[in-house]
Amino acid sequence: MTTFLQRTAVALGLTWGFSFGALAQTAPTCSVEGYGEMNVTTNGKGWQTALPHVVVNVERRWTRGWSIVGELEMTDALEVAQLYVQKRWTDRAAVRAGRLAVPIGMANLYDHPFDHFCAQLPAGEEAVLPAVSNGTGVSLTGSSPLWRYEVQTQFHADAVAFCLRGEWMPTHTLHVATSGYYDGELITSVEMNYLSAKGVVRGMTTYAPQRHALHVGAEAGRSFLCSRSQADPRLVPFIRYDLTCDAGVTHYATLGMSLRPMPHFIIKASATRMWTSATSVWEWAVGLGLTLE
């Protein structure tokens, strides 16, 4: 399992550690990657099938660090999620300009089916996140073995938005990150990811202080049927809890299982109880995910 920035690096065909001279000598290449997922859910009143979610990343690389990247996303309609030109000087400094994704929130950073346990992205977070998940802008990004960062500006019809994200990686298993977004309203996020061959623990808190809107989510899973190889089958029983405070308090508690029988295919099943002060509902879900690399 990888983070959003790690997946972006793979999708772009970047190998951290290149020098400027190596970039200048790289031959023009093209790569295509993506993933697809679908799920069915029921709350006891019949099963509902969600529209398939398909994402395709295409990148054309030229010499001297120049590339153009496109991401197409389809659920009920085809959307250009990202389309930008990138100039990379070193691992620590690259500039992107075009249509960019906002690097804050689980829905924007970890929408890949291998990056979250549940068949669906956790409910409730959308109440806190920015109203737009992508837009036209420019960003400065880079990384080292210990950290990654992105500084982004987006130009919307009614506002200019600024976003800053920093990620610290003290070990190869532990990543800690924080993000901030401002378009007249401040939204902040703090997250932690611990990923090892034996298990995964993830948590994220997103807060919009002007609206007093808060989402807290955490999940933990124990890996079975695997060694240290990422190609091994992997069975992960997991638990997840989400709390959303926005015009009321809503709780979500999930118990489920994720099975990856082969490197590019995953099966998920979960049961979720949602409750407020006035109601309580159970929901069951089954999902499938497929990735192309």
How many other C-beta atoms can be found within 10 angstroms of the C-beta atom of residue 170?
10
Q: Give the pLDDT band (50/70/90) at residue 279.
A: very high
Q: Give the pLDDT band (50/70/90) at residue 129.
A: very high
Q: What tens digit of pLDDT does each residue of 39-58 get? A: 999 988 888 998 899 999 99
**Domain range list for the chain:** 4-292
Q: Are 207 and 213 in contact (CB under 8 A)?
A: yes
* Residue 11: per-residue pLDDT: 36
Pick from 112, 149, 113, 156: nearest CA to 133: 156
User: In Å, how far from its chain's centre is CA 258?
Assistant: 17
Per the DSSP assignment, residues forming a β-bridge with 142 are: 149
Q: Which CATH architecture has domain 4-292?
A: Beta Barrel (2.40)
How many other C-beta atoms can be found within 10 angstroms of the C-beta atom of residue 256?
23
Alpha helices in 136-203 (DSSP H): none
Q: What is the mean pLDDT of residues 164-191?
A: 96
Q: What tens digit of pLDDT does each residue of 165-176 get? A: 999 999 999 999
pTM: 0.85
Q: Residue 174 in 3-state DSSP?
A: strand
Q: What is the mean pLDDT of residues 224-240?
A: 79
247's CB contacts (< 8 A; 6+ apart) are none
Kindly state the DSSP code that residue 147 receives in the 8-state scheme.
Answer: E
CA torsion through residues 223, 215, 188, 12, sign = positive
Residues in the chain: 293
Q: What percent of the chain has pLDDT over 90?
A: 72
* Residue 226: per-residue pLDDT: 66
Alpha-carbon span 116 to 123, nearest angstrom: 13
Alpha-carbon separation of residue 282 from 43, 100, 253, 273, 279 (angstroms): 6, 36, 10, 4, 10
Alpha-carbon separation of residue 165 from 25, 129, 171, 269, 281 (angstroms): 31, 15, 19, 32, 36
Q: Are 259 and 270 in contact (CB under 8 A)?
A: no
Q: Say whether pLDDT at 112 is over 60.
A: yes
Alpha-carbon span 109 to 240, nearest angstrom: 18
